[in-house]
Structure 1
């Protein structure tokens, strides 16, 4: 089991480091959002709980990098299925559970790396965090990445074409981002929108990161962690049977 997880994780990590565009997008995407969203709205948005608006949305921008990276890592499943590599893995002695966990771990590791690259913008937005908080932030990013990676695996486990996966992911990611409290406080959301925010797992990820970076949160860290871990467990329980039925 352990060797299977490690082997799949290592393969995906090697593929990731061979593509330089991943690092470029990890820096350019959050930079554009900070400049356009943060810089554009900062003059008209009052400080939120005494925090500058660009600093307030920074946790949301980091989370955006994480969810894009975690979801994109799941597309390798569709690629492997289309070119026959997935079938070779599934007929090997590697347990199906190891296949899912290996993909989830590689996706969350890649998401954490891309989220961590966003921290290079901290000096430019006037935000500094202690070294211990940085360590906690990395753990939180891995947990967020793991939960979204498992969701991506469930989606990829049902699909057989890149087009279908891309359409569903594009339809899913932006609503998840905007309905997570990333760009506005959850208490200020309209009443009819509040249930959607509470059902969104990314809401708890953004809130957890914001607590670590700014010491501000809507929910307790324990609630945030519990929801993210429970969501991951549910997604894993759905994903593993999908691969067991793979022919």
Structure 2
């Protein structure tokens, strides 16, 4: 347990030292929030779907958590390149504890960034229907972060260079985000697109946050959202631990 705590704390300290990373991580969510939230707001309202800022804010929060958590696997490649990973793996600690510590660290950083984006959304006019439901929304942030941090670790464990990781992430992350319903409602879609969006795990996380924030534009049941994320998080944590165990020094 000490190893898990130390590695978790190390990820937090790395994030805390990088103030430029914190500022840069808020740039893209702010762009989506301002350009889409205010730019497409009149069109969304004329279509009878309500306030677009209220709709898109959970999607922007989910995007921030997704990007931060899944790119935590990039830190694994940095550590491999500079030798820290080798020192960690030869320590008298099980690889399972190392993987759990790093995954929890990446997920915690992602949740912190998600909270920062939530604060920005509130400053720009987003209003949750019930403030008491914010802990439920944070719970969905945690599930999204754990799920994709484990996926990032699994992918990072099988790669040797950062170029390969970036290619895979660009091929994987953007479709996950755009098919999650972050920017458009998941109701009333065509048959093919409807089925594709249903296999996107981020769709259930964003839909769960919309439930928590009181948005009427929801596609699934709240219990289904939570169940899918919990099951997938457990599966990907097991898969990530197996992939991490196969790393060769």
Residue pair 2:158, 2:247 contacting (<8 A) in 1 also: no
**Post-superposition shift, 1:97?**
1.1
The answer on 1:62 being equivalent to 2:48 is no
Residue pair 1:179, 1:203 contacting (<8 A) in 2 also: yes
The residue matched to 2:96 in structure 1 has which SS? helix
The answer on 1:7 being equivalent to 2:12 is no
Aligned to 2:107: 108
Residue pair 1:60, 1:183 contacting (<8 A) in 2 also: yes
- Consecutive unaligned residues of structure 2, counting only runs of 5 or more, are none
**Post-superposition shift, 1:163?**
0.7
* Structure 1 Cα separation of the partners of residues 207 and 221 of structure 2: 9
RMSD across aligned positions (CA)? 1.7
**Post-superposition shift, 1:168?**
1.0
Aligned to 2:136: 136
Return the TM-score normalized by structure 2.
Answer: 0.92
* Structure 2 Cα separation of the partners of residues 117 and 46 of structure 1: 27
Aligned to 2:29: 30
The range that moved more, 26-35 or 104-113, is: 26-35
Residue pair 2:62, 2:205 contacting (<8 A) in 1 also: yes
Residue pair 1:179, 1:200 contacting (<8 A) in 2 also: yes
The range that moved more, 197-206 or 226-235, is: 226-235
Aligned to 1:16: 15
Residue pair 1:26, 1:115 contacting (<8 A) in 2 also: no
Relative to structure 1, the CA distance from residue 126 to residue 13 in structure 2 (aligned partners, 3 Å threshold; closer, same or farther) is closer
- Consecutive unaligned residues of structure 1, counting only runs of 5 or more, are none
Residue pair 1:204, 1:224 contacting (<8 A) in 2 also: yes
Aligned to 1:190: 190
CA distances 1:79-98 after superposition (whole Å, capped 9, x unpaired): 11122211221121211111
The residue matched to 2:124 in structure 1 has which SS? helix
The answer on 1:204 being equivalent to 2:192 is no
Residue pair 1:42, 1:53 contacting (<8 A) in 2 also: yes
The answer on 1:222 being equivalent to 2:223 is yes
Return the TM-score normalized by structure 1.
Answer: 0.93
The residue matched to 2:44 in structure 1 has which SS? coil
The range that moved more, 63-72 or 46-55, is: 46-55
Aligned to 2:116: 117
Aligned to 1:53: 52
The range that moved more, 109-118 or 96-105, is: 96-105
Aligned to 1:234: 235
Aligned length: 246
**Post-superposition shift, 1:224?**
0.9
The answer on 1:244 being equivalent to 2:245 is yes
CA distances 1:180-215 after superposition (whole Å, capped 9, x unpaired): 111111112221111211111101001011111124
